[in-house]
Structure 1
Amino acid sequence: MAQSNSRFAVVAALTGNALITIAKGTTFLITGSGAMLSETIHSVADFLNQLLLLIGLVRADRVPDRRYEYGYAGERYVWALISAVGIFFLGCGVTLYHGVQSLFHPPELDFGEMKWAIAALLFALVIDGVVFFLALKTEWKNAQKEKKAFHQYLRKEADPASVAVILEDGAACLGVMIALISILLTKMTGSPYWDAIGSIGIGVLLGGIAVWLIIRNQELLVGPSIPQETKEQVQRILKNNPLIDDVLDLRSRILSIDNYRIKVDLSFDPKELSKRLKKKALAAYPQIQSEQDFEEFCQKYTRDILDTLAEEIDKIEAEIQRQVPEAKHLDLEAN
């Protein structure tokens, strides 16, 4: 479901930004506005970023094979990291460079054609606003379903592809407003410096978004542990089992937002285990008449111990996966 929601958000953003890029680019060619060029670069960066996000989602959906036995889920973070770096250098870098250059060498602007820039920006604001609302609404519902605070859910558990769409389209709406203000101030004052300042503001905005996305995807590529409340939930399941004496070690890693790997070292209670095997042992005890009978009894009793432990581990894994569906890779070991 999360994968499906993320793909919908990315495709919607990709389609919207394709239309916006064409509108902004055409308007820049008409007006020569630096803020419009910055907005065009912004939309190109968003379009390329969402294309990379879509590639990552498609590649991450491949089934595990012999080479990658835990699957390809990490690919979404690789492509998302590449796109975030692209935003930083292409979106932020080029926009800042153009804005600073415009401060020292202001371009000649045709104020009569600024109405086209305003129309294009209003069109972009509507499209970006719709995509932003759809992505935000989807993640809000997910957070409510998980009973998590929305900002914490976005920061720690939401799919980075969906978060990227929210941040980028939120920044796009803010960037459009910056561009509108700078163009209006330029037209009102007759000074092209406002246009350059607007361009720099949009560049700084893109840089902040890119840095956040780089940090988030770097965390996921390295492999953080599962959320603390989920880890505590797994520990409660284990400690509530009467056969488990102690949880010696619990380690986890997020492979993707809906795929956790959890490794646990367990100490089983020998008294509880002997209680479960007592009836079988008592039934077999009278039949021990010789050393060979005793050896056969020991072998059978050892098999019963191993079978009981294996059955119990299977039950524990089933219960963990029932309560934590993301725990797709469980490794429970008896020590």
Structure 2
Amino acid sequence: MAQGNSRFAVVAALVGNGVITVAKGATFLITGSGAMLSETIHSVADFLNQLLLLIGLVRADQAPDKRFEYGYAGERYVWALISAVGIFFLGCGVTIYHGVQSLFHPPTLDMGEMKWAIGALLFALVIDGIVFILALKGEWKNAALHGRPFHHYLRNEADPAAVAVILEDGAACLGVIIALISILLTQWTGQHYWDAIGSIGIGVLLGGIAVWLIIRNQELLVGPSIPPQTKEQVTRILKNNPLIEEVIDLRSRILSIDNYRIKADLSFSSEELSRRLKKKALAAYPEIKTEQDFEIFCQKYTEDVLETLAEEIDKIEAEIQRQIPEAQHLDLEAN
């Protein structure tokens, strides 16, 4: 479900930004506005970055094989990280550079043609706003399904691809507003530095988003533990089982947003295990007449112990996966 929502959001953003890029680029060629060039660069960066996100989502869907036995889910974080770096250098770096250059060497602007810039920006605001709302609604539903506050889910559990779309299109909407303000101030005052300031403001906005996305994807590539609430839920399931005496060690790692690996070292109760096997042992006890009978009894009893433990571990794993579907890789060991 999360993967499907992310792909829909990325494809919608990709199509939207393709249309917007053409509109903004044509308007820049007509007006020569630095803010419009920044907005065009912004949209080009968004388009390319969302293309990278889509590549990551497609590659992450590959089935596990002998080379990558836990699958390719991490691919989405690699491509999302490349996308974030692209936003930083192409979106932020080039935009700020152009803004600073325009501040010291103002371009010649045709104020009569600025209406084209305003029209293109309003068109972009509508498209970006639609994509932003669609992506926001998808993640809002996911947060509600997980029973998490939206801001917490977005920061710690949401797919970085969907978060990137939300942030990029949210920034695009804000960037359009900044560009509109700078163009209108340039028209009203006749001072070209407002256009350059708008360009720099858009670059700073993109830089902040890029840094956040880089940090988030770096965390996921390193492999953080599962959310604390989920870890507490696993611990509770284990401790509520009468056969488990103690949870010695519990470690986890997020392989992807819907794929967790959980490892637990458990101490099993000898008293509970003995109680469960008592009837079988008592039934076999009268049959022990010779040393050979005793050896057969010991062998059978050992097999019963191992079988009981294996069955109980299977039941525990099934219960964990029932309550936490993301726990796809479980490793429960008796200590």
Give TM-score scaled by structure 2 length: 0.99
Shift of 1:191: 1.0
| Aligned residue number for residue 29 of structure 2 | 29
CA distance in 2 between partners of 1:274 and 1:23 (Å): 76
Partner amino acid, structure 1, of 2:311: E
Partner-residue secondary structure (3-state), 2:144:
helix
Q: Once the two structures are superposed, what CA deviation does each residue of 1:177-212 show, in whole Å capped at 9, x if it has no partner?
A: 000000000011111100000000000000000000
| Aligned residue number for residue 12 of structure 1 | 12
CA distance in 2 between partners of 1:138 and 1:59 (Å): 22
Q: Once the two structures are superposed, what CA deviation does each residue of 1:193-235 show, in whole Å capped at 9, x if it has no partner?
A: 0000000000000000000000000000000000001000001
| Aligned residue number for residue 52 of structure 1 | 52
Partner-residue secondary structure (3-state), 2:48:
helix
Partner-residue secondary structure (3-state), 1:260:
strand
| Aligned residue number for residue 251 of structure 1 | 251
| Aligned residue number for residue 330 of structure 1 | 330
CA distance in 2 between partners of 1:74 and 1:145 (Å): 23
CA distance in 2 between partners of 1:253 and 1:315 (Å): 22
Matches within 5 A, 1:153-302: 153-302=153-302
Partner-residue secondary structure (3-state), 2:271:
helix
CA distance in 1 between partners of 2:217 and 2:20 (Å): 27
CA distance in 1 between partners of 2:153 and 2:74 (Å): 20
| Aligned residue number for residue 66 of structure 2 | 66
Matches within 5 A, 1:138-157: 138-157=138-157
Matches within 5 A, 1:115-154: 115-154=115-154
Give TM-score scaled by structure 1 length: 0.99
Q: Once the two structures are superposed, what CA deviation does each residue of 1:142-169 show, in whole Å capped at 9, x if it has no partner?
A: 1112221110010001111111000000
CA distance in 2 between partners of 1:115 and 1:282 (Å): 94
State yes or no: 1:112 paired with 2:134.
no
Q: Once the two structures are superposed, what CA deviation does each residue of 1:264-300 show, in whole Å capped at 9, x if it has no partner?
A: 0000000000001111111111111111111111111
State yes or no: 1:307 paired with 2:314.
no
CA distance in 2 between partners of 1:67 and 1:312 (Å): 32
Partner amino acid, structure 1, of 2:130: V
| Aligned residue number for residue 39 of structure 1 | 39
Partner amino acid, structure 2, of 1:89: F
CA distance in 1 between partners of 2:144 and 2:289 (Å): 66
CA distance in 2 between partners of 1:188 and 1:194 (Å): 10
CA distance in 1 between partners of 2:276 and 2:298 (Å): 16
Unaligned runs of 5+ in 1: none
CA distance in 2 between partners of 1:300 and 1:144 (Å): 51
Shift of 1:25: 0.3
Aligned Cα RMSD in Å? Answer: 0.5
CA distance in 2 between partners of 1:121 and 1:205 (Å): 17
CA distance in 1 between partners of 2:145 and 2:234 (Å): 19
CA distance in 2 between partners of 1:77 and 1:142 (Å): 19
Partner-residue secondary structure (3-state), 1:216:
helix
CA distance in 2 between partners of 1:316 and 1:252 (Å): 16
Q: Once the two structures are superposed, what CA deviation does each residue of 1:226-276 show, in whole Å capped at 9, x if it has no partner?
A: 000100000110000000000000000000110000000000000000001
CA distance in 2 between partners of 1:169 and 1:123 (Å): 14
* Percentage of pairs with the same residue: 85
Shift of 1:141: 1.3
CA distance in 1 between partners of 2:134 and 2:8 (Å): 10
CA distance in 2 between partners of 1:308 and 1:39 (Å): 65
CA distance in 1 between partners of 2:164 and 2:16 (Å): 15
Partner-residue secondary structure (3-state), 1:225:
coil
CA distance in 2 between partners of 1:90 and 1:110 (Å): 27
CA distance in 1 between partners of 2:318 and 2:110 (Å): 69
Partner-residue secondary structure (3-state), 2:183:
helix
CA distance in 2 between partners of 1:295 and 1:146 (Å): 53
Unaligned runs of 5+ in 2: none
CA distance in 2 between partners of 1:219 and 1:134 (Å): 26
Runs of 4 or more off by more than 4 Å in structure 1?
A: none
Partner amino acid, structure 1, of 2:55: I
**Equivalent residues, number:** 335
